Copies of this chain bind each other. A is one copy, B any other.
């Protein structure tokens, strides 16, 4: 009986394994395994003895060994975009919280914009780590991405062409309808048309909000002004706002997120255009500070918790019984529009008859 690896005598003591627990409790390793997994057919007295031994040794189950044996890691990987934006951050928090209650743990990997390999590189990284499922947190369309072909279930927050997997699940809010809702709100206030400060069009969410805006305008027979595209950040909203503020035609703006709306508000203020008297502004997200801006921002909240809960429930089901028969998606929560003080009925511009 050779001992190839000295039990790291020099360093810290070797972590106890189920074998050590078994020895102490006077049972076989397999019985310890049974106790660990709450299997039936273990005498209560034995179960208690084993649990006592585990406590005494400070036993902690070795997940690597478990994964190796079972082929399942009890871990889910999330591909993020590496931004600290409100939406992605909030969603990630919701994912972690939901996942933990299912017994899975979470690995995250960022796709930095312009990163080598983009999404497919990130996915590859996760696969090598070993994950039972993958979540694409904020699907974007990078032209250079090669199609991704997975053999584990995937949950995506939004459409993601170029992806194939044994089971592809989707969740997330209806950005198109939300964009329509925002636009209709402004049209309903009497504005002839609505301008749009869009998010980066590589993001599907941004495209969909733009689509909703476009649909609403078309349905109302309103002219479609040119789109200004930002990058979600306030500075880009400010740039767009400067253009819009200089244009007397502009009386209503739908901004694709609240952060950019902050920039728009600032630019309008600097241009001397009062909100909402001269220009109405609608944002998106309902960030915590939206209610405290000048003026408080009318916006559309997103129910991340709800979308995440639905998506993850499906993902876990799919992982644990890959039958592919998912329960029919429950209807998504209704869209809401929080009306504050950045929108008002259109007034004749002072210079209209000057």
Binding site for B on A (CB under 8 A): 11-12, 60-65, 67-68, 73, 75, 80, 82-84, 86, 89-90, 92-93, 96-97, 100, 105-110, 112, 125, 127-130, 151, 166, 233-235, 237-238, 259, 262-263, 265-266, 269, 288-289, 291-294, 296, 322
What distance in Å separates the Cβ of A198 from its nearest Cβ neighbour in chain B? Answer: 18
Q: Smallest Cβ distance from A82 to chain B, in angstroms? A: 5
User: Smallest distance from the beta carbon of A157 to chain B beta carbons, Å?
Assistant: 15
CB distance from A80 to the nearest CB of B (A): 8
| A151 partner residues in chain B, CB cutoff 8 A | 12
20 interchain pairs, CB-CB under 8 A: A11-B322, A12-B151, A60-B128, A62-B130, A63-B128, A64-B130, A83-B93, A84-B89, A84-B90, A84-B92, A96-B108, A100-B110, A105-B125, A106-B109, A233-B288, A235-B292, A262-B293, A265-B292, A266-B294, A289-B289
Q: Considering the chains assembled together, what is the distance between the CA atoms of A109 and B78 in angstroms?
A: 13
Given A97-B110, A109-B96, A109-B106, are A64 and B73 neighbors across the interface (CB < 8 Å)?
yes
Quote the shortest CB–CB distance from A247 to chain B (angstroms). Answer: 20
Contact of A107 among B12, B92, B105, B238 (CB under 8 A): B105
7 tightest A-B CB contacts, nearest first: A64-B67, A84-B89, A266-B292, A89-B89, A294-B294, A84-B90, A234-B289
Q: A127 vs B107: C-alpha distance in the bound complex, in angstroms?
A: 14
Flag if B130 contacts A110 (CB, 8 Å): no
Contacts of A289 in B (CB 8 A): 234, 259, 262-263, 289
Please name all residues of chain B whose beta carbon is closer than 8 Å to the beta carbon of A235 when the two chains form the complex.
288, 291-292
* Shortest beta-carbon distance from A94 to chain B in Å: 9
The smallest beta-carbon distance between A17 and chain B, in angstroms, is: 11
**Residue contact A234 to B291, C-beta cutoff 8 Å:** yes
Query: For the complex, what is the distance from the CA of A90 to the CA of B322, rounded to whole Å?
Result: 36
Given A75-B107, A106-B109, A266-B292: 19 more A-B contacts, CB < 8 Å: A11-B322, A12-B166, A60-B127, A62-B68, A63-B128, A63-B130, A64-B65, A64-B68, A64-B130, A82-B96, A83-B93, A89-B89, A96-B109, A105-B125, A106-B107, A106-B108, A233-B288, A259-B288, A265-B292
